[in-house]
Amino acid sequence: MRDEAIASVSVGILITDPHQPDNPIIYANPAFERLTGYGAAEVLGRNCRFLQGSGTDPSAVAEIRQALKEERGLRIELLNYRKDGSTFWNELTISPLRDAKGRVTHYVGIINDGTERKGVEQHLQQVEKLAALGTLLGGVAHELNNPLFIISGYAQLAREKINRGLYDDLKGDLETIREVAQRASATVNRFLGIARRAEARRALCLVDDLVKQALGLMSYDFTMRQVTVRTQFDPALPSILADPQDLSQAFLNLFTNASQAMAESHGRGTLSVSTTLVSEQGRPWVEVRVSDDGPGIAPEHLPRIFDPFYTTKPLGQRTGLGLTISHRIVTELGGTLTCVSVVGQGATFIVRLPIAQQASPDGPSSGSH
């Protein structure tokens, strides 16, 4: 009755004898014959290795050998070969049979064809990869839109000045275009390294200088969106250690988000930016506050605003990467980026950065590299 039950199941079953040389097969049921194309007479006395081939993962084979050596069971998935050379994904379960004294007498291998399931999994993985790639490319496009908008604006201003013969003012406009183009290139590099970021080159710098630099780059955007900027700087702030270009980009992202939020909410707005030195838990921090009078952020969204690709906007509008990048830049410096907001009253982003432990003999630097 037991033999009839084993012979009638739909999964392949092999029984091997570990007490004979090379652990040979001593039984194969009809389902194994149907699955592999090998008749029972062809496999008796052979080791199961004949099902393996060039596409079989060596680590899976090593794992099987280790399980047999340790006399324990195992469930694993590996590529096997049929008699006609075709392949199938074997969902293999190995179980030791023991006698009354606990000694292993035989091994039972249950072979199940998981090719269809594996194919579905691989298809879904490919779909997920393509979706992630599309989202990433959308993020690149979104993040590049901001510097391209600035470049386009200053190029238009330069053209108007040329038409009016105001050549003396062109140098500053062209320098802004060059600098923003470099930032666009840095943005692309930042996306390329989003999963494996290289060590940033850091230097002593003054936060006020970087904030002013980012505000200067946004001046055309602010004019177009009718955003009034109010600033309050602390000229006595100590230096911090940071990559000036990265940190300036973090501020630029915060200013861009605020400008867009106010413009979309009521077509104009007021951006308030302040810097100061604060103390928390006995440590001094350089603090930057960026406040807008936009629509604010709902409480249910606040915990996730720094998550990659999180956005409340419709598909194709923003990708939720600007805040993610800013948050990562700040936290990599040992700082914090937080947000407080009341719906209908705007939002305030608070950047806190640790001060540099020692001053550089050459003095602080705020330039990019």
Q: Is 320 left (phi over 0), alpha (psi -120 to 50) or beta?
A: left
- The Cα–Cα gap between 112 and 77 comes to 10
pLDDT on residue 286:
95
pLDDT on residue 181:
76
Lowest mean pLDDT among 66-75, 114-123, 223-232: 114-123
Asked if residue 277 has pLDDT above 90, the reply is yes
- The Cα–Cα gap between 5 and 244 comes to 73
Cβ within 8 Å of residue 217, ≥6 positions away? 150, 176, 179, 180, 183, 252
Q: To the nearest whole percent, how much of the chain has pLDDT over 70?
A: 78
Domain 2-113 top-level CATH class: alpha beta
Q: Average pLDDT, stretch 113-117?
A: 82
Amino acid at 288: V
Nearest to 313 by CA among 247, 265, 252, 243: 265
Cα maximum dimension of the chain: 103
pLDDT band with cut points at 50, 70 and 90 for residue 193: low
Burial 221-236 (b: 16+ CB within 10 A, else e): bbeebebeeeeebeee
Q: Which residue would you say has higher pLDDT here, 324 or 269?
A: 269
Q: Where are the domains of the chain?
A: 2-113, 126-354
Q: Average pLDDT, stretch 54-76?
A: 90
- The Cα–Cα gap between 24 and 14 comes to 10
pTM as predicted? 0.49
Q: Which of 94-98, 122-126, 167-171, 297-301 has the highest mean pLDDT?
A: 94-98
Q: Which residue would you say has higher pLDDT here, 182 or 354?
A: 354
pLDDT on residue 320:
53
Select from 3.40.640.10, 3.90.1210.10, 3.50.50.60, 3.30.565.10 the CATH code of 126-354: 3.30.565.10
Mean pLDDT of the chain: 81
Asked if residue 126 has pLDDT above 70, the reply is no
